[in-house]
Amino acid sequence: MKGFYLYLGVLAAVFLIFQFIPSYEKVNPPVDKSKEIKAPTKVMDILKRSCYDCHSYETRWPWYADVAPMKWIVRRDVVQGRKALNFSIWQDYDEEKREKLKKSIYRSVNLAMPLPQYLWLNPEAKLSEEDKKIIKNWASDGKGYIKIDIR
């Protein structure tokens, strides 16, 4: 029994030390609505539900974004997600970048996005077949299918 308590104590100590390891800041910079993406309501609803937590400045931070080790993953995903694609500053992107991102969005909804570690704790964010169709239709301007360039 003594060994067990020692083990618990070590675990608790490690957990405590984890909390002092610095990680990314948890910030939601102010949103200028004029810079936000403009898309049909149906598309916006899906983006807001399933993508905005990592791809906008309007992240709904969960409680575990304050608890290591989970916070390392959550905060990193948000920082990297915003860097790759940020719907809050979409209007600042030039035409070329928007087109590129839309192609990328078209492809991402098939499999990669939202990230699996996010879906695990946010099952409501999972895209239905109908959601995917709506996003793909919007991302390809109604053309439906985008030829994937081979580079």
Number of residues near ligand HEC (by CB under 6 A): 20
Q: Is 84 in the site for ligand HEC (CB under 6 A)?
A: yes
Pure H helices in 20-51 = 41-50
55 contacts ligand HEC (rule: CB under 6 A):
yes
Residues 101-120, interacting with ligand HEC (CB under 6 A): 101, 104-105, 108-109, 113-115, 118
- What is the torsion angle, in degrees rounded to the nearest 10, for the CA atoms of residue 103, residue 109, residue 111 and residue 116? 130
| Closer residue to ligand HEC, CB minimum distance, 91 or 122 | 122
What CA dihedral angle connects 15, 17, 21 and 25, to 10 degrees?
60
Query: Is 52:28 a contact under the CB 8 Å cutoff?
Result: no
- Quote the least distance from Cβ 32 to ligand HEC, whole Å: 21
Residue number with CB closer to ligand HEC (21 or 121): 121
Among 36, 37, 50, 136, binds ligand HEC (CB under 6 A): 50
Query: Is the dihedral angle over the CA atoms 46, 51, 56, 61 positive or is it negative?
Result: positive
Binding flag, residue 71, ligand HEC (CB under 6 A):
no
Asked if 47 and 109 touch (Cβ cutoff 8 Å), the reply is no
Binding segment for ligand HEC among 6-14, 80-88, 90-98, 143-151 (CB under 6 A)?
Answer: 80-88
Question: What is the token pair recorded at 77?
Answer: 């995903």
**149 SS3 class:** coil
Name the site residues for ligand HEC (rule: CB under 6 A).
50-51, 53-55, 77, 80-81, 84-85, 101, 104-105, 108-109, 113-115, 118, 127
